Amino acid sequence: AAGVIQSPRHLIKEKRETATLKCYPIPRHDTVYWYQQGPGQDPQFLISFYEKMQSDKGSIPDRFSAQQFSDYHSELNMSSLELGDSALYFCASSLGDGEQFFGPGTRLTVL
Amino acid sequence: GEDVEQSLFLSVREGDSSVINCTYTDSSSTYLYWYKQEPGAGLQLLTYIFSNMDMKQDQRLTVLLNKKDKHLSLRIADTQTGDSAIYFCAERRNAGNMLTFGGGTRLMVKP
């Protein structure tokens, strides 16, 4: 069965650079969620989209923005990167408010 | 997450049963989930329980929910070395569909 696809899987950036993470949900899923998992931490909710509209907002810094496109894929844009942004970024997708299925994550390292 | 708590570590012998516990604080939680995370990997949805249920069994997994005490447990029967991972409980509250995760329990299965 098709799963959530995230790209890239690994990303290394310098401080103050920008990064774009992409998420392709399971086919026919219309809702996308972004979570950030710091080293040794539990995943923290950042933001979610339903039918291309932002549905919920969590602890997402103002330096980050995200959107969902007409094909339901989503992109998380991160600017002015800081060392503390180094984390595993997960995307999850669901059909409406159903179960969330997580992608493999993008590991971002900020040097 | 500060609203969802789990013990940090559990060690069992292969073939024994494992019980991983979780407490949450929000009585409006609608669904409670268990996710498994292997090293460097994504979050795999194991099972979930609706808040009006007391128990759910799925093969080797049994979920017990005590809504009065806001206590959730995951029992893994006949634990195998491949079950070694970090197990996260997560709650979905009435307001919004985002998940709030516990800090994770690292399960170590000794042969």
Which residues does chain A have with pLDDT short of 50? none
**pLDDT for A66:** 97
Mean pLDDT of the B13-27 span:
93
The shortest C-alpha distance from B73 to chain A (Å) reads: 18
CA A30, A32, A38: angle at the middle one, nearest 5? 165
**At B39, is the pLDDT very low, low, confident or very high (cuts 50, 70, 90)?**
confident
Check pLDDT > 80 for residue B31.
yes
Instruction: Examine the pLDDT at B2 and tell me if it is beyond 70.
Output: no
pLDDT above 90: residue B3: no
The mean pLDDT value of chain B amounts to 92
Per-residue pLDDT at B59 = 95
pLDDT at residue number B82: 95
Q: From the CA of A18, how many Å to the nearest CA of chain B? A: 24
Q: How far apart are CA A34 and CA B90, in angstroms?
A: 15
Using a CB-CB distance cutoff of 8 angstroms, which residues of chain B are in contact with residue A102? 35, 42-45
